[in-house]
């Protein structure tokens, strides 16, 4: 399935008709960014104004479950990356503190 920003914009506009146009455009762009980030959609190589859904599923219900799974996997991946960064920072702090202390060879 292929679509454009304007196609999605019309759906978002219909659902969020109480928002101003600028806000609706921002929400539409945010949706596209998140879907690209979790690899549910991608830009068409031959037409970058069009997007396609990356899915083997044909049924809407199955695609909904797939996007939920991809969102969860992406969130877990981000959490793991943050955790890795925190552990690396702690390790670097430990190495720095340890390098300032005397070693056994300093006492002999």
Which residue spans within 5-82 are E strands per DSSP?
A: 41-43, 50-53
Q: Do 12 and 24 meet the contact criterion of CB atoms below 8 Å apart?
A: yes
Angle (CA) 35-16-25 rounded to 5° is 55
**pLDDT tens, the chain, 108 aa long:** 889 999 999 999 999 999 999 999 999 999 999 999 988 899 999 988 999 988 777 787 888 888 888 888 888 888 888 888 899 999 999 888 888 888 777 776
Domain map (residue ranges) of the chain: 1-54, 56-100
pTM confidence score: 0.65
């Amino acid at each position: 399935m292929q679509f454009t920003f304007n196609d999605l914009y019309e759906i978002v506009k219909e659902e969020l008709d109480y928002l101003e146009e600028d806000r609706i455009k921002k929400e539409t762009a945010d949706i596209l960014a998140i879907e690209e980030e979790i690899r549910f959609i991608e830009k068409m190589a031959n037409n970058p104004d069009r997007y396609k859904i990356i899915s083997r599923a044909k049924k809407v219900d199955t695609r909904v479950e797939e996007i939920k799974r991809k969102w969860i996997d992406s969130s877990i991946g981000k959490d793991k990356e943050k955790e890795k960064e925190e552990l690396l920072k702690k390790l670097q702090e430990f190495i720095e503190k340890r390098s300032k202390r005397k070693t056994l060879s300093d006492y002999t």
